[in-house]
Amino acid sequence: MSIADDASHQPDVMVEEAEFMQAVTEAIGQLPEREQLVMQLYYVEEFNLKEIGETLGVSESRVSQILSSVVKKLRGALKVDNAADTEKVETMRRA
């Protein structure tokens, strides 16, 4: 077990991560329904851009634009602007 692994199991880190996930969930809940659906399909259902496009009746390019726009909105809402916070979001996606 590495030092990074040890740090991720400390109570304060766990609370911070839980609070961050709650904030992400609330921010996603404020998005328009279509944007919520795109996020759900991509991050939860793990659809690729082509599959999402087929589901919504839009091109892969449009799905990519929607995802980029939503991520930008969420970063602004959550004030995520540094590499550590971005990595935290990606790590939670993979979990």
Express each pLDDT in 33-55 by its tens digit.
999 999 999 999 999 999 999 99
Quote the tokens at residue 94.
């993979």
Biggest alpha carbon–alpha carbon distance for the chain = 47
Q: Is the pLDDT of residue 6 over 90?
A: no
CB 38 within 8 A of CB 63: yes
- Rounded mean pLDDT of 76-83? 72
- Rounded mean pLDDT of 60-86? 83
φ/ψ bin of 22: left (φ > 0), alpha (ψ from -120 to 50), beta (otherwise): alpha
Instruction: Give CA separation, 35 vs 28, 74, 76, in Å.
Output: 8, 11, 16
Of 59 and 18, the structure prediction assigns the larger pLDDT to 59
